[in-house]
Amino acid sequence: MFAEELSGNASRKKQDEARNRRRQVKQQQQRRAVTAAAIVSNAPAAGSTTSDTPSAAATVGNNGDTVTSSTPVAVSAAAPLPVSPALFSGPLASNNAPSSSATTTGGASSSSAVAQALEQRRIRTLQRLQTASAVCIQSWFRAVLSNHALLHEERQSFDKRMGDLITLGTILKTAKKTTYVPPPATTSMLSLQLLFIVQPPFRNKSTKDGSKKSIDIKDANRLESLLRHVLLPGILSDDDQLDPLLPWLHSVEGKFRLEKLLRFSVLCFVSCPGMTTIHKSVDALIRALIVGAKARPVIAQHCQKFLLHATSPLEVNEKVDGIVPEKSLDLIWRLRTLLLYGTGAKGEPIPSNAEKMRESCISKQDRDRANIMLLLVLDAIQSFPILRTQLQSRFVAEILTVPLFTWKVTISNLLVEPKGSTGDTTDSPFITFLKAFVETREEALSTGNLKSTLFTEDVPLSKCPAPNVLCLLANLAQMGRLCPSINGSDPTKLNYKAGALFFNLLASLIDLVPLGTFTARRSAVEWVTHGAHHSPIVLSTVVLDQCKILLVDSYVRELFASAINDTALNTEHVITSKNDKDLKLEQDMAAVGSTSAANLAAKEARIDRDRSFWKSSKWAKKLSKTMTSLLSGDNSSSNSSSLQLSSSGIAKGGGSLVNTSSMSRQLAHSGASHDTHTKKAFLSRKESDESTKANMDGVPYSPQFLIALCRAYGTILSRWGGGGKQDIVKRVDNSANKNERSKEAESSEASTTVEPCVLSLLNVICFATNIVKTLGAIIQSDRKVVADLYDIIDSERSPMPIRSMQIRPEYGRSDGGNQGATVLFMFVTCLSHVLIITDDIEIHDMDRPLPPHQLRRIILLLKRLLYRACCVDDVHASSGVSRSISNSNYFGLSLISSSSRTMRDLYDRSSRRPLCTPKMWLIEDLLEKDLKRCKRYDQFASLLSTPVLRVCPFLVSFKRRLRLFERIVTTNRIEIQGSNQLQNLKPGKIVHITRGRILEDGLLHLNHLGRNLRQRLVVQYLNEAGAREAGVDVGGLFKEFWTDLSNMAFDPNFALFRATEGAGNCMYPNPSSLQAHGSDSIVLFEFLGRILGKALYEGITIQPQFAHFFLSFLRGDYNFLHMLPDLSTMDPQLYNNLMFLKTYEGDAADLCLTFTVANDDFGRNDEIELIPNGANIEVTNSNKQRYIGLMAKYHVCDKVKQQSQAFTRGLWEVIDRSWLQLFNEPELQVLISGASDGKIDVADMKAYAKYSGGFSGLDKHVMRFWKVFSSMTSKQQADLLKFVTSCERPPPLGFSCMNPPFTIQRVGVMRDGDKLPSASTCFNTLKLPTYSSEKVMRERLIYSIESGAGFELS
């Protein structure tokens, strides 16, 4: 029993011990949980910072109580702080207290001892982790507190030492009047102490420029004190022993100390706006190190390694995510970042209020700080001769590409011209830097790849809406406007060479800037590519406005006025001198006399036809040569002259071989004459060289400045002039690269329309300077320009197509590239613009803008240029020229477009009053083979898309263009109507016309047909009694209908048309027709247009002569060049008044004119404003040219615009517009009405007449008829022709083209009174009775043609 009792007591004791242990474990866990919760709620934030003075610190005891202290408290590692389990994650922390509690409370659970052991192990592991974490947090917290305490002590120590040094220096300066220089050891110690203070152990996030987000102002002040009182006195001392930096360079630690000090100094300069003392101290430090005479070479050479680099930090990839790191101390880069982000209220590259505040958006403090660093950089660049060129180039590429640079600094620092050692002024830093920039980037500028050398990673477009190249152009334009050596404000200070360099560089930049730079739109957009996405960025209007200073009228006027020196160029002599070719051409013009242009065109067609016969027949050539020899009596003279010509040619060539490949090819293409004309029209190279040399002897003038101006402003005119977008000379083909070529042409960076800035620029250049004559003289006298012109017109000399020519300078070449193309483009563009307000009297009688012989020279030159561009370049481009060269460029296309426009203007002028003989415009045999090759309508119509007919149709003879039009119309008519020859004539639409209701019936039956008027119409006439006339329409009755309709509709009394007052009673729409006929007038004009189209389609010539300007509307492209001459025909009195105003030498304001015009229609007086608010704008000398143009435009165009458009709409429904654009106005009049004077060429009519019914050309009745016809008046001849053909005018190409031909048919009679002459108008046949005498025949013919009967006589 005792044993059992003892054993029972022992078991109970074990149970009690286990219960107590579990209770203790549970209590410990509860205490730890409470303690951890207290730590989490009271512990300081991990990222909190302290100030210089110690702050209150909190410690937590083991019991969970919080103890506060006002001084830093050392925390012992022996008492670790518990950490909440919430700080940990993972499987160990997923189940801690709850699982333990569950285990202990379930004493009777079924878990095994192994599970309990594992649980205990997990708990111990968690405790160890918690203890380690608490130790780590405590260590970090102690380190932070210790660091703050140490920095506080060091700042106090540094301030005390600096205060003692300053006091000592003040005492010594007061007592001994000397500056105290601290020993190098003291300087080194204080420098180390400051660097320790300002270098925090943890890096903060950097800003875009690589500097800290914030620098303590007190630390910056400590740096300023250190520099001014400690470092600078020793560095500036003449005693090397006192310089503290020299010992630093002997050790790696010292060099590192110097770099750290400079870095902190630059960061303080950039990050502390408004602190002038710091800025000046840092500036003085860097100047003492690398700038000036006192800078020690050893120190300067060492500092240059990290203060000035030959290459940009971006170029050597010293960047992370597009940001240059803090370690880069390059001064040029630091200046760029300061200008980008250190100016403006919000640190933006372009301040948001810049457009509103203008220059005031940059504060004076920011501008002063930028000026200090700018001068420092300029002086630093000058102090390193070895790297000077590279540094100057970097300055332009990185500093002058900063947006609004001229607002952020005082640019006079760059524009001052320093004096050399001899007292002479040298180039300003601005010009010097530009020279270095061009020298180091020649290839990029010449190839147009400058953008790739201007790094943009640091300033994305999304944050700075202005590309670097645009900012560079804006800054250069602003600085060039203020630079006296290149702005032309003072001719005595003008540097021609520097000006040429500057504007050539501007030309390269204008070639690259976005297209929206000089557009009229207020906002311009640049597209940014992000992978496969494109997003628009609206460009800064402030930067765009800065670029547009190049277009200011006064600035442009000053530039060209200073660049033009007609005395040095001997302009007047070059322009007025004539050679033998000019005299010969004047003799040819005298032979032409005052013959109208329309008659010359018709005569040229007939002469061309006869010439082609004699050239095509071998026996005719032989006969012509024999007859010439017989008429001359002897052929020895021709042989001798030929021998003399050959001898002179040998003598001139000096026995050397002549390169005849180019000449032979030109002869094969275009005959022998036009190449000779062009070469004789201009001075030879030797003559031009001697002329230029004689002009320039002793004169400090260079035309290179003027050529550079032409290049810069020519780039604007070509890109924004509307002629450089579409490739007008591209051929329509089916080749594999057709779409690719079209894409290349359309992707050209040029505008599609003429921008207003171009017109304003041309007004200033053309009317405020003598640019046309000056450039005309340079084209003929400058050796380089003349040589370039030969390269342009001769494809053998230069294989590059004209459409691929570039205007930007080629710096790699000694001659600067093709100057001739630049000067020629500027010349033809200005000439075309001047011709707008030049009338015929000024051209022919006053030699304005150029003498007629000079205009003939220009015609010969441009003819060669256009011929090559349209007919030769495609051949070369497809057989040997590389793709990179043959791609079209906006300048080449603009050159072709301007040349074509100028030639059209001169051709139109010559059509009014001839400037030259018709053959001078032509390229012989051009298009002849193509016409012979074509057979069908589509083949003939395809010729209209050839470049020569789209760009310069005047190079093709009028006869060939007429023949092409005739073949197009004929083949199309056969396809639609059929023909008797092919036996497929289709039945026509029957139209009943009453003699007394021609207009009403025609409008009723024909006006609604529209384009179906091309179908065959069968006209049946009804007499006044309503009975059908006997005629059968096979074409003749429609001729009769059109003649009767035109006689009524074009009668001025009908009020649809009005006759001109000045010349020829030519018809044009009546401006008052709307009041006379109401809304029906538009319908009538459309109907008449359709009927005129039908007449042209059927080959019918009509009587009315149309006014020149109305014919321009029919072509679809009215040439405003003719407004003033056209006005002289409409209203001679108004024209004379405007000419008086144009030449009025007094003040135009005295005439009391405003921009209004009085309109009087049927007694109703209205005042119409020519421009908005024109009634309140008076006409002055400055705007009278515009007033004259607007007045002429109103009367010639605006008043008849609605009627002309209606007539044109009707015409184009039947005759395609492209068909009519083959001709100019006089030629179109010949197409419509034949020869304008109405005279019939009897010899031509007799040569192509046919005979039938027994007649022949030798019959006495036939000979009698021709004798009678020749003796008739012009009116009677026209009436007889109308009686036979229903047309009183012959076809444009003469009677050889009349179809059917004019035929005389024999009608036998027994007595003279049996029959009258009759006609079959459908077949152009005169049925002539065999009268007994000439007198009877004459009487019967006159009676028949004057009877006015219809077809009853048949």
Active site residues: 1322
Cα(1103)–Cα(487) distance, integer angstroms: 61
Q: Which residues share a beta bridge with 530?
A: 533
Cα(1036)–Cα(1322) distance, integer angstroms: 4
Pairing of strands 1017-1022, 989-994: parallel
In eight-state DSSP terms, residue 323 is B
Residue 1233 near residue 1102, CB atoms below 8 Å:
yes
Residue 66 near residue 58, CB atoms below 8 Å:
yes
The end-to-end CA distance of the chain, in Å, is 173
Cα(1301)–Cα(1298) distance, integer angstroms: 5
Q: CB within 8 A of 930, min separation 6: which ones?
A: 943, 946
Nearest to 311 by CA among 455, 138, 525: 455
Residue 394 near residue 441, CB atoms below 8 Å:
no
**Sign of the dihedral through C-alpha 676, 681, 682, 683:** positive
Q: Tokens at residue 969, please? A: 């119309």
Pairing of strands 1303-1307, 1325-1329: parallel
Nearest to 1038 by CA among 1010, 1014, 1019: 1019
Residue 585 near residue 854, CB atoms below 8 Å:
no
Q: CB within 8 A of 1143, min separation 6: which ones?
A: none
Cα(391)–Cα(331) distance, integer angstroms: 11
Q: Tokens 């563009």 — which residue?
A: 829
CA dihedral 540, 543, 548, 552 (to 10 degrees): 130
Cα(518)–Cα(509) distance, integer angstroms: 13
Tell me, letter by letter, the H, E, C secondary structure of 735-793.
CCCHHHHHHHHHCCCCCCCCCHHHHHHHHHHHHHCCHHHHHHHHHHHCHHHHHHHHHHH
Cα(1297)–Cα(819) distance, integer angstroms: 49
Nearest to 572 by CA among 582, 564, 581, 561: 564
Q: Is 1067 helix (H, G, I), strand (E, B) or coil?
A: strand
In eight-state DSSP terms, residue 731 is -
- AA letter at 120: Q
Cα(1285)–Cα(1274) distance, integer angstroms: 16
Residue 436 near residue 510, CB atoms below 8 Å:
no
Cα(205)–Cα(512) distance, integer angstroms: 37
Tell me, letter by letter, the H, E, C secondary structure of 369-383.
HHHHHHHHHHHHHHC
Tell me the Ramachandran region of residue 925: left when phi exceeds 0, alpha when psi lies from -120 to 50, beta otherwise: left
Q: CB within 8 A of 1298, min separation 6: which ones?
A: 1248, 1285, 1290, 1291, 1324
Q: Is 109 helix (H, G, I), strand (E, B) or coil?
A: coil
Cα(1027)–Cα(1031) distance, integer angstroms: 12
Residue 808 near residue 446, CB atoms below 8 Å:
yes
